[in-house]
Chain A
Amino acid sequence: MTTAMSSQTGAQGGPGEFAGLTPELLVDVLYKLKLCRYFDERMESLYRQGRLPGAIYSGRGQEGTHVGAAFALQHDDSLFVTHRDLSAQLTKGLELKRVMAQFWGRIDGYTRGRDGNSHIGDWQGNKTFTVVSMLPDSYPVAVGAALAYKRKREPNIALAICGDGSTSNGRWHEAINVSAIHQLPVVWVVNNNGYAYSTPNELEFKVATIAERAAAYGIPGVRVDGANVLEVYEATAKAVAKARTGGGPTLIESVALRWRGHAGHDAAKYVPKETLEDYQQNKDPVQRFERLLLDKNVVDQQQVDDLQARIEREFTEGYDFAQASPLPEAGDVVRGLYAEDGYWSSEPGRAGGTG
């Protein structure tokens, strides 16, 4: 880790000690961080126990980017993420139990069983794009949403998250370029976790940082420490405000290692052990934020424990909900392809059994 990943990150804090967030909101951020961490860990356990079908794409270690960025959005702002960024969707407001129903292919999942795991989205409710595997397919789509806000004179913005791997793809360039040309209300976030699957930054791009590429598009680029949720939040909030007021896009590079492999089957042996240990011990965004709030007396240990208990309870409830939710009806497999067949505007059949 000698290039992009290891460079200096910004200092903690900002305007006000906590980036202008109230204690209430700070606790909410902590709750989201801990929820996402717990969810990620527990789902991996279930996956390894053979109790979870399909695949998992852990975002552990990147919660600072996910929560920090998504927390800066209003309800009507739209969020376009990858399968690594489920934590951002949970932060945006997706219900844990419906997310879990999705993982088990149930009818109450956000895609009604048409997709699995973190290939999820809730456009109708929380304005999140239903994840597409190819990356960064959501970047051009975010340009379109941002274009719509501008054309319709709506104050919303679009925020898209991808990883460093996506930045090598032509679409990434195309999308940022067009958004810059037309000063569209969009925020581009790249979580640089050091690896495109197994390929390190050195083999992904020649420049030292991703953020500095922004100059080539004529837009601001900033680099933040993904381990510091407040730093991510603050930079994003600033970019969101700029976009919302007609200032055009901003590129944010948030540096945070992915602790786990690309997917549940990947042991990530390509990540040096020392690097991983360094991140886990010194750059854990969840631990670091919890410690900060405890140190600054924003929360006490009892509150933290209560939060943890609430999260575990919610997970259990979500799990039970998911198991009880019926599978989709097999006969519906051909429905919902086109808008006019009414499948998505009607209540889904619930006679699929629970397998």
Chain B
Amino acid sequence: MANVVMPQLGETVLEGTVVRWLKQEGERITLDEPLFEISTDKVDTEVPSPAEGVLERILVAEGQTVPVGTELAIVGTGESAAGEALSEEVPRMAAPAESATEVPAIPAAPAAPVASAPLGTSAAAEVPTPPPAPAVPESVSDDAGTEAGERLPDRGPRSAILSPVVRRLAREHDVDLARVRGTGPGGRITRHDVEGAIVVGNVPPDGESAALSAPEAAPAIAAEPPPVAQAPPSAVTPVASVSTPAAPSSNEPAVTRPEAPVVANEDEEVQPLSHLRRAIAGHMLQSTQTAARAWTLVEVDMERIVRLRERVKEAFAAREGFKLTYMPFVTRATNEALLEFPMVNAELRGQDLILRRHVHMGIAVSIDGGLIVPVVRNGDEMNLVGLARAIDDLATRARGKQLQPDEVHGSTFSITNPGAYGSLSSLPIINQPNSAILSFDAIEKRPVVVDDAIAIRHRVYLSMSWDHRVIDGAMATLFLTRVKEHLETWDWDEDLDHG
């Protein structure tokens, strides 16, 4: 008899989700034949059977997330070779299987999974708060032997129901459903939940980017002061305004994990986080834990653009059906500069730097209950009017929640515009996996010295948060200066004439 346990695939992985059993109870299985699929923070994979024999019992149902080392199933005595195979396999699986060889069902008191797991790395040892709420592993132990579906108190059997559209969207967009919390009755994951996960980009598209969010960095970041303490006051300011949660600091945001009930005081009100909110929280936190963020500010004279806009805005609105804002100007200037500074448009993927021939510009849009960053694809090929149209279209549909999942992925750089809400200057969080984000704040009339005289001019602060792992200060400043030059000197009429 062999016990099948949740393997530890990666030294920092603490838990895994059983996605699918490939065999049913009572079915025969051979050594190394795929037995089940798991999903962990690092990797999704099939797990081969540690022994030959009969799958006697499944102890953890599909969809459940359990700590590494938890017993998942029992493969009963089959051919004589099974025992041999077991003893070879088990150590690698890091499970207390030896002692279980003769035990008919579940060991009465398996070693505490986390503690017994060979988490030998220093990073893991320094995890500041205990990993997952203790309720989960405890309940698994206590409930061992009961119906598998009842294990997690938070999620009833309905949470295991994956509707056709949920399966399809998850497949098409590489969504790890184990990380999506269902808001439907009984914890069922609805289409809305998956779309939220896709749209906000909380879902790593592949194993590599999951690695970017790996917990190795967590202790260091957690030791820092909250990174956005001086964020602009308005909660609606996107990107920059997300205040840091009280760092749960496990490898993934705690928001996707069942938690102990929240106790509120009488003068408090408990409002569960929406999926969007949870996703934003996770995404922002992940960014702060990932990037080596630095920040640079320049001031730009917008007088020419303000006057130009005053001159053409009525005709433009009449022709195009929407207002001409400053965003397309800034986007256009930024796109051009990004082509000149490919590092600012790059992505750090593992140990490699990914450079792009095009700019896919993420535009932060404030929507009900959060923000979303739709992407203007190949924006570097568009002129001012083309960008204006694309931005208006995306923003309008974003507010109408009509964006396609494809439209919120794949940005190479992002711009946020808290200035629309009056901010003077902002410190945005980088939209992962970008290397930088530009903030465009409020345009104001300010007294400035022009030709040794004091003049009143429309001015704006342009600032950029950038990832020091990729970009250095000189480059960041040169880049911003180039954006500034474009904004101050370009002949925009040509763009407007060729709308």
Q: In the complex, A touching B, CB below 8 Å?
A: no
